[in-house]
Amino acid sequence: MAIQAFSGGKPVSIIVNNAGTGSLFTSITHASEEDFDRIVRVNLKGTFLMSRAGIRLMLENGVKEGAVVNVSSTAAQSPLKGVASYAASKAGILGLTKSMAQDVAGTGIRCNAVLPGYTETPLSGHLSDEDKRQLTSAIPLGRPAQPREVANVVAFLCGPDSSYMLGACVLVSGGTVL
């Protein structure tokens, strides 16, 4: 199994589902079914498959303190115009996270989600300068997040200081969504 190979033979105790994709801003009237399927397959189904495999391994290996962190998006709670497929996939991650948290409660495995807002990543590289200005103008802190700022929250959710958090959906949005 790929997860076991990646862990170097050590028991897996942390899974971070961060793979994601999107598309250019497209009205629901022009969104293709193929694009929708691709986005849901990568964002939601990928999160489901990796979470299921990781949790199974943690349970099989008797991991006492495990963490699954799913990266969603503020689009799950407050989507912009033209991102229906992306928003649906990221909202699905929230439901999946909360359901998984209930399933593994009491096993020592915690499942939580992070909801980043506009973050400077390769995924945002396709945005026009005007789109970037508009997105930034809606952020009370006045700038997009840097990947390390989101990563710090993910690391917190993977560590012992978040041991009483289960099914939490943590916003990292610079105040865009409150």
Other CB atoms within 10 Å distance of the CB of residue 111: 27
86 in active site: yes
CA angle 144, 150, 151 (to 5 degrees): 140
Helix (H) or strand (E) holding 69: strand 66-71
Among candidate residues 26, 68, 86, 176, the one labeled active-site is: 86
Q: Where are the beta strands (DSSP E) in the chain?
A: 14-17, 66-71, 109-116, 169-172
Q: Which residues are catalytic?
A: 86
